[in-house]
Structure formats: C-alpha cells, structure tokens
C-alpha cells in the first residue's frame, strides 16, 4: 500500500494540441504565488527510465502493438509513481501532472480499442491505485487540436520536434483522435467530481482562470 498522500495530485488531460503544457506552466505559477510547494511533471517521463520509455513509444520506426503500448505507458507510470510522485505527495507538494492514467484509458482503451476496463486494470497494478485529487480535462475538437499541433511544429522547426520528426502517435488518423475525445468525455461524465472539463478553445488566460477555479478548493 502507498502511504496516504498529504500533497495534492492534479492531472491535466486532453488531446494533443489542447494546450496542457502551457496551462501546467501558468497554473504552477499561480499556485506557487500563493505560497504552496508545487512541482510540474509530464507523462510519459519525469524520471530517467520513463524518459527512455518515452523515446521508445514515440519512435515511428518501431512496431509497437496496442497491448505493448499500453504496458509501456503503464511501466513508465509505475516508475514515476514510485520514484517521484509518492515522495513528493508525502512531503506535501502539489503536483501538476501533464497526463496520467486517464490518458491511457482514452488513448489505449478508446483510441486503440483495447477497452477502458482492461487498461484500467493494468494501471491499477502500475500505480498501486494512486488517484488524482482533481483532473482538468482540456476539451478541444480533434480538428482544432491537430491544427494547433501543426502550428507548433512549424513554429518550432525541426529542431523543436522530436528527433524523429512527427511522432508515432501523431501519425494516426482522424478516427483515432475522435475515439479518444469520446472516451475522455465518457470518463468525465462518470466522474464529474474529479474530472472538470474546460473549454480549451478559449484564449489561454480564460483557460487558466477556469482551471484555477476548478482546483481552488484543494489549495
């Protein structure tokens, strides 16, 4: 059993291009300004092993079966929980985490059609059932997400991209992202207390305002 968390785990979810990392940065600033210890992490990654797994899952030159993909994300997550999240939460830190279990439920359970229940089961094992205190779901249409992603890629040039150019998941078609968006919406409907949907098509300062309001009771 994991120790009871004293800090807070706030996860940020949504399609690629929804603006999660921009929000994480701004929200961390707001929370820190109120005198809280805050740490921002991303998945897959955050610790050495998980960053290596990140390179593997993004590499377009590798064949990765759907079940393998689910297990790789879960393995990266297990290491992050053990090595970083559990100690941070035990020390009272507020952790802002860019993607967590819901990403696997939506992308592998929905997008890859492995089923939310199956993917949830391996993630319960991986995380020892660590649950977010709150989840911000940045809602954006798949088309708008893709457009923003393309802008980002152009703006950053090749150097700002993955060393493989477009990553393996970004190569997927529209159906894949539509299925992910549907899966996220279903998760939010089932757990409205934990998962707060935010309209990510708004200007960034509005998204930040809504996000802050959605976590204020935890601070």
Q: How far is CA 145 from CA 5, 11, 148, 201, in A?
A: 34, 19, 5, 9
Phi, psi of 7 (to 5 degrees): -80, -160
Strands (DSSP E) along the chain, which ranges?
8-14, 38-42, 94-98, 134-139, 195-199
Q: How far is the CB of 62 from ligand TYD (least distance, A)?
A: 14
| Radius of gyration of the chain, Cα coordinates, nearest whole angstrom | 16
Nearer residue to ligand TYD within complex by CB, 75 or 219: 75
For residue 13, state whether it binds ligand TYD (rule: CB under 6 A).
Answer: no
Nearer residue to ligand TYD within complex by CB, 153 or 216: 153
Nearer residue to ligand TYD within complex by CB, 4 or 154: 154
Restricted to residues 34-73, the positions that interact with ligand TYD (CB under 6 A) are 42-44, 73
Is residue 53 a contact partner of residue 72, using CB atoms and an 8 Å limit? yes
Nearer residue to ligand TYD within complex by CB, 3 or 15: 15
Q: How far is the CB of 9 from ligand TYD (least distance, A)?
A: 14
Buried b (16+ CB within 10 A) or exposed e, 61-91: eeebeeeebbbbbbbbbbbbbbebbbebbee
Is residue 182 a contact partner of residue 113, using CB atoms and an 8 Å limit? no
- Taking CB under 6 A as the binding criterion, the range among 15-23, 26-34, 59-67, 201-209 that sits at the site for ligand TYD is 15-23
Q: How far is CA 93 from CA 28, 90, 110, 176, in A?
A: 12, 7, 32, 35
Of 13, 16, 39, 210, the residue at the interface with ligand TYD (CB under 6 A) is 16
Ranked by CB distance to ligand TYD, the top (closest) residue is 107
Count the site residues for ligand TYD by CB under 6 A: 13
Restricted to residues 158-217, the positions that interact with ligand TYD (CB under 6 A) are 169
Of 53, 107, 114, 122, the residue at the interface with ligand TYD (CB under 6 A) is 107
| CA neighbor of 24 nearest in space, from 36, 13, 37, 8 | 13
Restricted to residues 109-168, the positions that interact with ligand TYD (CB under 6 A) are none
Phi, psi of 45 (to 5 degrees): 145, -150
Of 11, 104, 127, 135, the residue at the interface with ligand TYD (CB under 6 A) is 104
- Name the residues that contact ligand TYD, by CB under 6 A: 16, 20-21, 42-44, 73, 99, 103-104, 107-108, 169
């Amino acid at each position: 059993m994991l120790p009871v968390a004293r800090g807070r785990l706030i996860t940020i979810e949504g399609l690629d291009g929804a603006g999660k990392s921009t929000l994480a940065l701004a929200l961390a600033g707001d929370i820190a300004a109120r005198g809280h210890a805050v740490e921002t992490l991303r998945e897959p990654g955050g610790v050495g092993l998980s960053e290596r797994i990140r390179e593997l899952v993004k590499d377009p030159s590798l064949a990765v079966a759907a079940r393998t993909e689910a297990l790789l994300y879960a393995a990266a997550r297990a290491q992050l929980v053990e090595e970083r999240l559990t100690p941070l939460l035990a020390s009272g830190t507020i952790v802002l985490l860019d993607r967590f279990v819901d990403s696997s439920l939506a992308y592998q359970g929905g997008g890859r059609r492995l089923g939310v229940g199956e993917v949830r089961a391996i993630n319960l094992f991986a995380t020892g059932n660590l649950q977010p205190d709150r989840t911000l779901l940045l809602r954006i249409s798949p088309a708008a997400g893709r457009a923003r992603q393309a802008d980002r890629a152009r703006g950053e040039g090749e150097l700002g991209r993955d060393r493989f150019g477009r990553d393996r998941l970004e190569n997927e078609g529209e159906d894949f992202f539509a299925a992910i968006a549907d899966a996220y919406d279903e998760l939010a409907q089932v757990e409205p207390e934990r998962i707060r949907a935010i309209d990510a098509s708004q200007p960034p300062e509005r998204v930040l305002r809504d996000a802050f309001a959605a976590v204020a009771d935890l601070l």
